[in-house]
Amino acid sequence: MAPELSDYEQQRQANIAQRDKLLKQLAFDAGQAGLGPQKPAPKVSKSSTAHKKKGPVKRVKVEDAGPRRTSSRLLGLTADSEVAKRKAEDENTAAQEAARVKRQRHSGELNLSDVVVGGKNWDKSENFLVDVVSRGANPYERTFGDDEVRETTDKELRSLREQMSGLELYDGFEPSRIKITPERIYSLGFHPTTNKALVFAGDKLGNLGIFDASQTSASVKTQNGVKQEEADENEDDDPDPAITSFHCHTRTISSFQFSHNNPSHLYTCSYDSSLRLLDLTKSKSTEIYAPSDSSLDEPLSGVEMDPTAPHMLYFSRLDGHVGRTDTRAPDTTDIFQLSEKKIGGFSLNPANPHFIATASLDRYLRIWDLRKLSGKVSRQLPALIGEHESRLSVSHAAFNSAGQVATASYDDTVKIHTFEGMGSWSPGHKVSDEEMAPSSIIRHNNQTGRWVTILRAQWQLHPPNSIHRFCIGNMNRFVDIYTANGDQLAQLGGEGITAVPAVAQFHPTEQWIAAGTASGKLCLWM
């Protein structure tokens, strides 16, 4: 007795029988159409008959297999039916119409809120395009000058404006001749000495240039006692200023700072991931910090020194980390991740250095308290006590000794945040959103583009009469000076400035201001 077939086997046998029946019908139809053999094939063995049947089946299957396997079958439509044809024609017509509409130009007036692509909804009240025409780069076009000074009614403010606007461009050499670095200037500052203006500048390729402003060109000296014609004749023979330059780093020197206790010590940080000490007395440059693995690329964007602990250095990295290291024991470096994105600049509060301000690409100014750390030992973080969000990325944040933070951001604003009584704050003290709001907002063109160094607001460390002020480069080829209240004091310029003096800095105590350009040229006002 034959074994009982399973359900699967029964179904398979049925499929085979149905297929054979279909093949026979196809062969018969092909013969009727004249596609098959005219005479019936002779009877042969079973194996040869099966072999010969495969020939016409293949030809017919190739022709008919396509329509039977279209998606129309899944929709219950008969292949090559009128319904399927209409469906295909409708789909093709709809695709062509969609493509035509997409390519068709817009006619009439468009509201930007209706055509905004991705991101947040368009807010007309925060329209950053309004100032593109009015505040675009217009070389040598002043927005502040003698008229504003004369119209000042406040006596103290007017006196301060007259004083700062009275600073004159250094006349020892024309700015176009003082090429303090070979490449674009990224960092700049004065030596603390008051005997003479000694300017340091770091450039894109890791060069550190030094310029002594006590020198004067021969043409300037002769003009005091020689006819102008003779001075003009000697001008061609006038040598360029003496500039000293050192190649301390292999990549951009992003920031540097002089020691508060030893003015012969200069700490420099670079995109080559290293922090170095330049000893001007010993004429040596020593590496203070670098990643343990030399293959790691961790560019540094800033360096600060704790005024109360001269051996403690702080630095920021472009990957959102801030570190601190003791120069006496570099192996004890602590690293904190304070942002998921680039930290462009940070600053310690000079009066209370346990407070740190960071500015990052994620549009936030944040204030941190180092007295309160939380988390695992390997991943500790200082307490975040307050933050403020700008519309676009914040380029830099700078503290002054009065507890004010000045920021510059790509929403074309310079903001001043005032925090009163920081010295009495308990560890981890929380700052409300109202307290984090800026006390002053200054409209300022910060669209530097690709070839100009980012504009940063820099406070004077020890201002005369304790009136805090800061300077920042101006895209119209000036340097702007403002008070802590947001009042503009001066707009410094002069003949011979052929590029944007983007990197501007005060002398710590004197009324001297220096600024560097993308071509490595130096502008100096005294």
Q: Note the pLDDT of residue 337.
A: 93
**Does 371 or 122 have the greater pLDDT score?**
371
Q: Note the pLDDT of residue 375.
A: 84
> Rounded CA gap, 11 and 21, in Å?
15
For residue 179, what is the DSSP state? Answer: B
Residue 137 φ then ψ, to 5°: -70, 115
| 510 contacts 213 by C-beta, under 8 angstroms | no
Beta pairing partners, 347:
357
Q: Is the pLDDT of residue 74 over 80?
A: no
The encoded tokens of residue 346 equal 């940070």
pLDDT, one tens digit per residue, over 2-41 is 567 777 888 888 888 888 888 888 777 766 666 655 555 5
Residue 335 φ then ψ, to 5°: -120, 130
> Rounded CA gap, 168 and 223, in Å?
18
| 327 contacts 313 by C-beta, under 8 angstroms | yes
Q: How far is CA 21 from CA 9, 24, 25, 464, 508, in A?
A: 18, 5, 6, 107, 101
pLDDT, one tens digit per residue, over 31-58 is 666 665 555 555 555 444 444 445 555 4
Beta pairing partners, 492:
479
Q: Which of 135-144, 182-191, 401-410 has the lowest mean pLDDT?
A: 135-144
Q: Note the pLDDT of residue 344.
A: 87
Q: Note the pLDDT of residue 51.
A: 47
The encoded tokens of residue 273 equal 């991931």
Nearest 10 degrees: Cα torsion 90, 93, 98, 99: 150
> Rounded CA gap, 204 and 253, in Å?
6
Q: Note the pLDDT of residue 49.
A: 47
Q: Is the pLDDT of residue 283 over 80?
A: yes
409 CB-near residues (< 8 Å, 6+ apart)? 359, 363, 390, 391, 392, 393, 394, 395, 415, 446
Q: Note the pLDDT of residue 479.
A: 97
Closest Cα to residue 366, out of 350, 390, 335? 390
Q: Note the pLDDT of residue 134.
A: 46
Beta pairing partners, 506:
513
For residue 167, what is the DSSP state? Answer: -
337 CB-near residues (< 8 Å, 6+ apart)? 320, 321, 379, 381
Q: Which of 52-66, 82-96, 111-125, 466-480 has the lowest mean pLDDT?
A: 52-66
Other CB atoms within 10 A of residue 222 CB: 17
| 338 contacts 380 by C-beta, under 8 angstroms | no
Strand, helix or coil for residue 68: helix
Residue 379: band (very low, low, confident or very high) from pLDDT cuts 50, 70, 90: confident
Closest Cα to residue 274, out of 310, 249, 295? 249
Q: Which stretches does DSSP call E strand in 306-435?
A: 312-317, 321-326, 329-337, 343-348, 355-360, 364-374, 381-389, 394-399, 404-409, 413-418
> Rounded CA gap, 423 and 420, in Å?
9
pLDDT, one tens digit per residue, over 457-479 is 999 999 988 899 999 999 999 99
Residue 132: band (very low, low, confident or very high) from pLDDT cuts 50, 70, 90: very low
| Average pLDDT of every residue of the chain | 85
Percent of the chain whose predicted confidence (pLDDT) is above 90? 63
> Rounded CA gap, 317 and 342, in Å?
7
Q: Is the pLDDT of residue 81 over 80?
A: no
The residue type of 466 is S
Q: How far is CA 227 from CA 171, 218, 238, in A?
A: 18, 14, 16
Q: How does strand 364-374 pair with strand 355-360?
A: antiparallel
pLDDT, one tens digit per residue, over 194-235 is 999 999 999 999 999 999 999 987 766 555 555 454 545 555
| 442 contacts 486 by C-beta, under 8 angstroms | yes
Handedness of CA 141, 145, 151, 153 (dihedral sign): positive
Q: How far is CA 366 from CA 75, 158, 312, 317, in A?
A: 59, 34, 21, 16
| Tokens 């008919």 sit on residue | 64
Percent of the chain whose predicted confidence (pLDDT) is above 70? 79
Q: Is the pLDDT of residue 101 over 50?
A: yes
Q: Is the pLDDT of residue 76 over 70?
A: no
> Rounded CA gap, 329 and 117, in Å?
53
> Rounded CA gap, 444 and 457, in Å?
11
Residue 148: band (very low, low, confident or very high) from pLDDT cuts 50, 70, 90: very high
Q: Is the pLDDT of residue 66 over 50?
A: no
pLDDT, one tens digit per residue, over 293-338 is 888 999 999 999 999 998 999 999 999 999 999 988 878 899 999 9
Mean pLDDT of 142-165: 94
| 164 contacts 463 by C-beta, under 8 angstroms | no
At how many degrees (to 10) do helices 46-68 and 7-32 cross? Answer: 90
29 CB-near residues (< 8 Å, 6+ apart)? none
| Tokens 């009584």 sit on residue | 421
